[in-house]
Structure 1
Amino acid sequence: MPVYQQPLTFHTRGRQSLDITREVARIIGDSGITTGTCHVFQHHTSASLLITENADPDVRRDLETILARLAPDGDPAYRHDMEGDDDMAAHARAMLTHNDLTLPVTRGRPALGTWQGIFLWEHRYAGHDRRLTVTVQGE
Protein backbone atom coordinates (compact mmCIF):
# COMPACT_ATOMS: atom_id res chain seq x y z
CA MET A 1 0.00 0.00 0.00
CA PRO A 2 1.57 3.31 -1.04
CA VAL A 3 2.42 5.90 1.61
CA TYR A 4 3.17 9.55 0.90
CA GLN A 5 4.44 11.99 3.53
CA GLN A 6 5.11 15.70 3.42
CA PRO A 7 5.87 18.36 6.06
CA LEU A 8 3.98 21.63 6.33
CA THR A 9 4.97 24.74 8.27
CA PHE A 10 2.67 27.62 9.13
CA HIS A 11 3.47 30.88 10.85
CA THR A 12 0.63 31.88 13.15
CA ARG A 13 -0.03 35.45 14.24
CA GLY A 14 -0.91 34.59 17.81
CA ARG A 15 -4.08 33.10 19.24
CA GLN A 16 -6.22 32.22 16.25
CA SER A 17 -7.52 29.36 14.15
CA LEU A 18 -5.93 29.10 10.73
CA ASP A 19 -7.72 27.29 7.89
CA ILE A 20 -5.29 24.71 6.48
CA THR A 21 -7.81 22.73 4.41
CA ARG A 22 -6.38 23.76 1.01
CA GLU A 23 -2.82 22.84 1.96
CA VAL A 24 -3.86 19.40 3.24
CA ALA A 25 -6.00 18.84 0.13
CA ARG A 26 -3.03 19.81 -2.08
CA ILE A 27 -0.82 17.21 -0.37
CA ILE A 28 -3.50 14.56 -0.80
CA GLY A 29 -3.69 15.43 -4.51
CA ASP A 30 0.11 15.39 -4.85
CA SER A 31 0.20 11.91 -3.30
CA GLY A 32 -1.66 10.33 -6.21
CA ILE A 33 -3.67 8.29 -3.69
CA THR A 34 -7.38 8.23 -4.53
CA THR A 35 -8.80 6.05 -1.74
CA GLY A 36 -7.38 5.77 1.77
CA THR A 37 -6.67 7.91 4.81
CA CYS A 38 -4.84 11.13 5.56
CA HIS A 39 -3.21 11.67 8.94
CA VAL A 40 -2.22 15.19 10.03
CA PHE A 41 0.05 15.55 13.07
CA GLN A 42 1.26 18.81 14.61
CA HIS A 43 4.51 18.72 16.58
CA HIS A 44 3.74 21.18 19.40
CA THR A 45 2.27 21.24 22.91
CA SER A 46 0.64 24.67 22.76
CA ALA A 47 -1.33 24.40 19.51
CA SER A 48 -3.86 21.90 18.21
CA LEU A 49 -5.81 20.72 15.19
CA LEU A 50 -9.55 20.62 14.69
CA ILE A 51 -12.20 19.90 12.12
CA THR A 52 -15.08 22.30 12.50
CA GLU A 53 -17.47 24.50 10.57
CA ASN A 54 -15.81 26.57 7.86
CA ALA A 55 -18.74 28.81 6.91
CA ASP A 56 -19.28 30.98 9.99
CA PRO A 57 -16.15 32.27 11.82
CA ASP A 58 -18.33 32.87 14.90
CA VAL A 59 -18.13 29.12 15.54
CA ARG A 60 -14.35 29.34 16.03
CA ARG A 61 -14.69 32.51 18.11
CA ASP A 62 -17.23 30.73 20.34
CA LEU A 63 -14.90 27.73 20.67
CA GLU A 64 -12.19 30.14 21.84
CA THR A 65 -14.63 31.54 24.43
CA ILE A 66 -15.37 28.03 25.69
CA LEU A 67 -11.67 27.15 26.00
CA ALA A 68 -11.00 30.45 27.78
CA ARG A 69 -13.48 29.33 30.45
CA LEU A 70 -11.96 25.85 30.72
CA ALA A 71 -8.30 26.95 30.69
CA PRO A 72 -8.08 30.65 31.60
CA ASP A 73 -4.86 32.58 31.06
CA GLY A 74 -2.93 33.59 34.17
CA ASP A 75 -4.80 31.41 36.65
CA PRO A 76 -2.92 31.84 39.97
CA ALA A 77 -3.24 28.09 40.59
CA TYR A 78 -0.88 27.36 37.66
CA ARG A 79 2.70 26.60 38.56
CA HIS A 80 4.04 26.49 35.00
CA ASP A 81 4.22 30.09 33.75
CA MET A 82 7.82 30.43 32.53
CA GLU A 83 6.74 31.94 29.19
CA GLY A 84 3.92 34.17 30.44
CA ASP A 85 0.27 34.12 31.45
CA ASP A 86 -0.73 32.05 28.43
CA ASP A 87 1.89 29.32 29.01
CA MET A 88 0.02 26.71 31.04
CA ALA A 89 -3.34 27.67 29.56
CA ALA A 90 -1.97 26.94 26.07
CA HIS A 91 -0.77 23.49 27.16
CA ALA A 92 -4.15 22.72 28.76
CA ARG A 93 -6.02 23.88 25.66
CA ALA A 94 -3.87 21.63 23.47
CA MET A 95 -4.48 18.69 25.80
CA LEU A 96 -8.26 19.29 25.70
CA THR A 97 -8.30 19.31 21.90
CA HIS A 98 -6.22 17.28 19.39
CA ASN A 99 -2.60 16.98 18.26
CA ASP A 100 -3.61 14.95 15.24
CA LEU A 101 -6.48 14.21 12.88
CA THR A 102 -7.26 11.31 10.58
CA LEU A 103 -9.68 11.76 7.72
CA PRO A 104 -10.82 9.63 4.80
CA VAL A 105 -9.53 10.20 1.28
CA THR A 106 -12.11 9.68 -1.45
CA ARG A 107 -11.46 10.30 -5.16
CA GLY A 108 -8.14 11.92 -4.30
CA ARG A 109 -9.64 14.52 -1.96
CA PRO A 110 -10.29 14.88 1.77
CA ALA A 111 -13.78 13.45 2.39
CA LEU A 112 -15.00 16.33 4.54
CA GLY A 113 -18.60 17.32 5.12
CA THR A 114 -20.08 20.30 3.30
CA TRP A 115 -19.39 22.76 6.12
CA GLN A 116 -16.17 21.22 7.49
CA GLY A 117 -12.68 22.65 7.36
CA ILE A 118 -9.33 21.66 8.87
CA PHE A 119 -7.84 24.26 11.22
CA LEU A 120 -4.56 24.75 13.04
CA TRP A 121 -5.44 26.36 16.38
CA GLU A 122 -2.75 28.51 17.95
CA HIS A 123 -3.16 28.78 21.73
CA ARG A 124 -0.33 31.26 22.45
CA TYR A 125 -0.56 35.09 22.35
CA ALA A 126 2.53 35.41 20.16
CA GLY A 127 2.96 34.02 16.67
CA HIS A 128 4.91 30.81 16.22
CA ASP A 129 6.15 28.61 13.41
CA ARG A 130 4.12 25.41 13.65
CA ARG A 131 5.37 22.23 12.02
CA LEU A 132 2.98 19.54 10.78
CA THR A 133 3.47 16.17 9.12
CA VAL A 134 0.84 15.00 6.65
CA THR A 135 0.81 11.28 5.78
CA VAL A 136 -1.46 9.86 3.08
CA GLN A 137 -1.89 6.11 2.78
CA GLY A 138 -4.03 4.07 0.41
CA GLU A 139 -4.31 3.20 -3.23
Structure 2
Amino acid sequence: MKQEFFEVSVSTPGKSLTDISELIQREVTSRSFHSGLLTIWCAHTGASLLVQANADPDVQQDILDYFEKLVPKSAGAYRHKPDEDDNAPSHLRALLTQTQLSIPIYDGLLPMGKVQSLYLFEHREAPKIRRLNIHYLGT
Protein backbone atom coordinates (compact mmCIF):
# COMPACT_ATOMS: atom_id res chain seq x y z
CA MET A 1 0.00 0.00 0.00
CA LYS A 2 1.26 3.44 -0.95
CA GLN A 3 0.34 6.74 0.68
CA GLU A 4 1.46 10.16 -0.49
CA PHE A 5 0.58 13.76 0.30
CA PHE A 6 1.56 16.63 -1.99
CA GLU A 7 0.46 20.08 -3.14
CA VAL A 8 -0.10 21.68 -6.54
CA SER A 9 -0.71 25.32 -7.40
CA VAL A 10 -3.19 26.56 -9.96
CA SER A 11 -3.28 30.10 -11.37
CA THR A 12 -6.74 31.42 -12.13
CA PRO A 13 -7.66 34.47 -14.23
CA GLY A 14 -10.29 35.49 -11.70
CA LYS A 15 -13.89 34.28 -11.67
CA SER A 16 -13.79 31.17 -13.85
CA LEU A 17 -13.82 27.41 -14.18
CA THR A 18 -10.23 26.23 -14.74
CA ASP A 19 -9.91 22.70 -16.08
CA ILE A 20 -7.34 20.92 -13.89
CA SER A 21 -7.90 17.40 -15.26
CA GLU A 22 -4.62 17.25 -17.21
CA LEU A 23 -2.64 18.76 -14.34
CA ILE A 24 -3.95 16.14 -11.90
CA GLN A 25 -3.46 13.33 -14.45
CA ARG A 26 0.19 14.42 -14.97
CA GLU A 27 0.73 14.22 -11.20
CA VAL A 28 -0.86 10.76 -11.04
CA THR A 29 1.34 9.56 -13.92
CA SER A 30 4.59 11.12 -12.68
CA ARG A 31 4.10 9.60 -9.23
CA SER A 32 3.28 6.15 -10.65
CA PHE A 33 -0.08 5.88 -8.91
CA HIS A 34 -1.85 2.76 -10.16
CA SER A 35 -5.08 1.98 -8.32
CA GLY A 36 -6.45 3.81 -5.32
CA LEU A 37 -8.20 6.93 -4.13
CA LEU A 38 -7.09 10.50 -4.75
CA THR A 39 -8.51 13.16 -2.45
CA ILE A 40 -8.13 16.78 -3.53
CA TRP A 41 -8.73 19.58 -1.05
CA CYS A 42 -8.88 23.25 -2.04
CA ALA A 43 -7.17 25.21 0.74
CA HIS A 44 -9.20 28.39 0.17
CA THR A 45 -12.58 29.83 1.11
CA GLY A 46 -13.04 31.68 -2.19
CA ALA A 47 -12.69 28.73 -4.56
CA SER A 48 -14.06 25.22 -4.88
CA LEU A 49 -13.88 22.02 -6.92
CA LEU A 50 -16.32 20.55 -9.44
CA VAL A 51 -16.64 17.64 -11.81
CA GLN A 52 -18.68 18.96 -14.71
CA ALA A 53 -19.32 18.71 -18.45
CA ASN A 54 -16.57 19.93 -20.78
CA ALA A 55 -18.01 19.36 -24.27
CA ASP A 56 -19.79 22.69 -24.55
CA PRO A 57 -18.30 25.96 -23.21
CA ASP A 58 -21.86 27.21 -22.70
CA VAL A 59 -22.13 24.83 -19.73
CA GLN A 60 -19.32 26.70 -17.97
CA GLN A 61 -20.89 30.06 -18.74
CA ASP A 62 -24.29 28.83 -17.52
CA ILE A 63 -22.68 27.78 -14.23
CA LEU A 64 -20.97 31.18 -13.83
CA ASP A 65 -24.21 33.02 -14.70
CA TYR A 66 -26.24 30.85 -12.31
CA PHE A 67 -23.94 31.61 -9.38
CA GLU A 68 -23.99 35.34 -10.24
CA LYS A 69 -27.78 35.29 -9.86
CA LEU A 70 -27.82 32.95 -6.87
CA VAL A 71 -25.18 34.82 -4.84
CA PRO A 72 -24.74 38.29 -6.36
CA LYS A 73 -22.10 40.81 -5.43
CA SER A 74 -24.36 43.42 -3.92
CA ALA A 75 -23.32 46.37 -1.77
CA GLY A 76 -24.78 46.08 1.72
CA ALA A 77 -26.19 42.59 1.17
CA TYR A 78 -23.72 40.81 3.45
CA ARG A 79 -22.50 41.43 6.97
CA HIS A 80 -18.88 40.41 6.54
CA LYS A 81 -16.65 42.49 4.30
CA PRO A 82 -13.12 41.58 5.40
CA ASP A 83 -11.17 43.09 2.50
CA GLU A 84 -12.88 43.22 -0.89
CA ASP A 85 -16.51 43.53 -1.99
CA ASP A 86 -16.51 40.08 -3.61
CA ASN A 87 -15.28 38.39 -0.43
CA ALA A 88 -18.65 37.50 1.15
CA PRO A 89 -20.25 36.22 -2.08
CA SER A 90 -17.16 34.12 -2.84
CA HIS A 91 -17.40 32.46 0.59
CA LEU A 92 -21.07 31.67 0.06
CA ARG A 93 -20.44 30.25 -3.42
CA ALA A 94 -17.75 27.97 -2.01
CA LEU A 95 -20.17 26.92 0.73
CA LEU A 96 -22.70 25.83 -1.92
CA THR A 97 -20.19 23.76 -3.87
CA GLN A 98 -17.34 21.48 -2.72
CA THR A 99 -13.88 22.21 -1.40
CA GLN A 100 -12.91 18.53 -1.44
CA LEU A 101 -13.30 15.75 -4.01
CA SER A 102 -12.36 12.09 -3.91
CA ILE A 103 -11.62 10.49 -7.26
CA PRO A 104 -10.70 6.86 -7.89
CA ILE A 105 -7.53 6.06 -9.78
CA TYR A 106 -7.86 3.02 -12.02
CA ASP A 107 -4.92 1.65 -14.03
CA GLY A 108 -3.09 4.94 -13.50
CA LEU A 109 -5.93 7.05 -14.90
CA LEU A 110 -8.61 9.40 -13.64
CA PRO A 111 -11.66 7.48 -14.91
CA MET A 112 -13.51 10.58 -16.12
CA GLY A 113 -16.49 10.30 -18.43
CA LYS A 114 -16.16 11.31 -22.09
CA VAL A 115 -17.44 14.82 -21.44
CA GLN A 116 -16.29 15.32 -17.84
CA SER A 117 -13.52 17.48 -16.48
CA LEU A 118 -12.26 18.35 -13.06
CA TYR A 119 -12.48 22.10 -12.47
CA LEU A 120 -11.16 24.59 -9.97
CA PHE A 121 -14.08 27.01 -9.58
CA GLU A 122 -12.67 30.44 -8.79
CA HIS A 123 -15.20 32.69 -7.08
CA ARG A 124 -13.06 35.83 -6.70
CA GLU A 125 -12.80 38.49 -9.42
CA ALA A 126 -9.05 39.04 -9.21
CA PRO A 127 -6.53 36.48 -10.52
CA LYS A 128 -5.36 34.12 -7.78
CA ILE A 129 -2.89 31.33 -7.20
CA ARG A 130 -4.74 28.50 -5.48
CA ARG A 131 -3.19 25.65 -3.53
CA LEU A 132 -4.63 22.17 -3.83
CA ASN A 133 -3.61 19.66 -1.17
CA ILE A 134 -3.72 16.12 -2.52
CA HIS A 135 -3.66 12.79 -0.73
CA TYR A 136 -3.27 9.44 -2.47
CA LEU A 137 -3.87 6.04 -0.93
CA GLY A 138 -3.45 2.98 -3.13
CA THR A 139 -0.91 0.98 -5.07
Quote the Cα distance in structure 2 between the aligned partners of 1:91 and 1:67: 12
Aligned to 1:23: 23
Alignment of 1:105 with 2:66, yes or no, is no
Quote the Cα distance in structure 2 between the aligned partners of 1:120 and 1:77: 26
Aligned-residue offset at 1:47: 0.5
Aligned partner letter, 2:99: N
Aligned 8 A contact 1:31 1:136 in 2: no
Q: How many residues align?
A: 139
Aligned to 2:90: 90
RMSD over aligned Cα atoms: 1.2
Query: Structure 1 vs Structure 2: percent identity of aligned residues?
Result: 34
Structure 1 gap segments, 5+ residues each = none
Aligned partner letter, 2:16: Q
TM-score (norm 1): 0.94
Q: Which runs of 4+ in 1 moved over 4 A?
A: none
Aligned to 2:76: 76
Aligned-residue offset at 1:75: 4.8
| Higher mean C-alpha deviation, range 117-126 or range 2-11 | 2-11
Aligned partner letter, 2:134: V
Aligned-residue offset at 1:5: 2.4
Structure 2 gap segments, 5+ residues each = none
